[in-house]
A and B are shown apart, each in its own frame.
Chain A
Amino acid sequence: MKTPRLSPQTLRVLERFVEHPRAWRYGYELSRETGLKSGTLYPILMRLAKYSLLETKWVTTEDGVPPRHTYRLTPNGVELVRATFANSRAGLKVRRPAFSGGRA
């Protein structure tokens, strides 16, 4: 399976999903937590979604407020994050993490 290039910024985004991998997150929330600007954050999210590592959903939070776009990792994404950070903890340099039988 193809995986996106895991730049330091992408890792920072993925890191935010580590604690609650199946939780839905907002874009602005991710931006504040990672310190990434929208021009950096959204291309990463778009790329993760393109590789089916991220799923998206529109949610209505309150009346009169436009629905918000939310994100969470897909099962593939969860697996990628676990593999990535497992390697990271093992002291390996993370470039193309082992994923679904891929390269280490």
Chain B
Amino acid sequence: MIPAAFPRSVAIALLRFAIWIAPHDTLDWGHAMLSELNHVEGNWSAFLWSLGGAGVLAKHAALAVILPGRPRRTVSSANELFAKEIPMRKTTLAVIASCVVASLLLFLAPVFRQAFHVSLAQWHDVFHAKQSFGYPSRDPELDALVKKAEQNRDAEALAFVAVRYPNAIQRERLANEAVQLDPNLTWLYAVAGTAYLSPSEIDRRVSVLKQWDPENALPHLFAAQKIGATVTYSKEFPLGKLEESPAWEKEMDAAFHLRSSITISTAKSSWITGFSPAIALTTRSRLSPVRIGMAFPTMGFGNAPFTRSRFSNPVNHSSLGVIAKPPLKNIGRWPVSVR
């Protein structure tokens, strides 16, 4: 049961708190309301009286915070201390303003502007990426380039968009179109990935890649990926027993036998030269059908545009278990123009 005097006690406490936060110029009024509280008849009436008064003082306190020119209450009785507050506040404001102006002056330097632009660019994709299930699905600028490249039957432009397009199916299709127009772009098959290709199409691309560069390990990795997918989805092998698939083992052995030359030897595709034996360590040590991502050794290449789009970093496949050394930095400098 609530004591009869409880509302009045709360009223007094409430009003005292309101006086404590109130601006200096309303202190007298706060104390006036508090002193009148002693004469209010009825405990609940006193509570309502206090509620109204506290509301008034709180409003003034809020205004004092919002409007910097309004004096704010800090010390209830030491007026001289309060008097010193105004110049202090002005000084603070002056310092803040000076810092802001000095910061803005930095923009006069072209180097700073460039650095600022670069630092903002990192966030551009984060805020502007239209994502589907965590990945971007369309890019209007790339769509326009695709349209133009297809109209002009421009192989290099198709290659340009094929390595960047966020949608894997489109990427694989664009890569195919580009390679058909210019067989020198066969390496695009490696970039586009094989995630959505039929087994026969994977076989065809593996064959083409092997012919194009017999010393390259990527076709073997593609083949291993296809086997890995088949094994994983068909559940023919128990968990962790993918290595027991002879066909998979054969392709992986072939790939790692060629690991010293896991590179696409054309100058244009120099970005992929970082594909190092590290892939062997990461894929083999962590390989398990449970970790499907690890079962596809070339998944990293297929997801290169995703990775780039999401993190504005040319390619960093460490999260996928594929280590690229050095980073595939030339992917953003492809000498392609859309005619």
Contacts and interface: CB of A to CB of B under 8 A. Distances in A.
B28 A68 contact: no
Find the residue from A27, A45, A66 having the highest chain B CB count within 10 A.
Answer: A27
A69 B28 CA distance: 9
Contacts, number: 56
Contacts of B31: 69
A47 to B, nearest CB: 11
A65 B38 contact: yes
A69 B50 CA distance: 16
Contacts of B28: 56, 69
Contacts of A31: 49
B35 A39 contact: no
A27 B36 CA distance: 7
Contact of B53 (A38, A67, A68): A38
A40 B32 contact: no
Interface residues of B, number: 20
B177 to A, nearest CB: 74
B56 A39 contact: yes
B33 interface: yes
Interface in B54-104: 55-56
Interface string B33-50: 111101110000000111
Interface string A38-58: 111111011000000000100
Contacts of A37: 48-49, 52
Contact of A69 (B36, B49, B52, B55): B36
Contacts of B40: 28
Main secondary structure of the interface of B (DSSP, over half): helix
Contacts of A45: 29
A42 B31 CA distance: 12
Interface string B243-282: 0000000000000000000000000000000000000000
A100 to B, nearest CB: 26
B59 to A, nearest CB: 8
B35 A42 contact: no
A38 B56 contact: yes
Contacts of A39: 51-53, 55-56
A69 B32 contact: yes
B312 interface: no
A46 B30 CA distance: 11
A39 B49 CA distance: 8
B26 interface: yes
A27 B52 contact: no
B29 A26 contact: no
A88 B245 CA distance: 103
Interface string A4-46: 0000000000000000000000111001000001111111011
B36 A68 contact: yes
Interface string B12-37: 00000000000000101101111110
Contacts of B34: 66
B48 A42 contact: no
A59 B36 CA distance: 12
Contact of A66 (B29, B38, B52, B55): B38
Q: Which 4 pairs of residues, A with B, have the shortest CB-CB distance? A: A39-B52, A69-B32, A38-B52, A28-B36
28 contacts: A26-B36, A26-B39, A27-B32, A27-B36, A28-B40, A28-B49, A31-B49, A37-B48, A38-B33, A38-B52, A38-B53, A38-B56, A39-B52, A39-B53, A40-B52, A41-B52, A42-B29, A42-B52, A42-B53, A45-B29, A46-B29, A56-B32, A65-B38, A66-B38, A68-B35, A68-B36, A68-B39, A69-B35
Given A38-B56, A69-B31, A69-B35, 9 more contacts: A28-B39, A28-B49, A38-B50, A39-B52, A39-B55, A42-B29, A42-B52, A45-B29, A46-B29
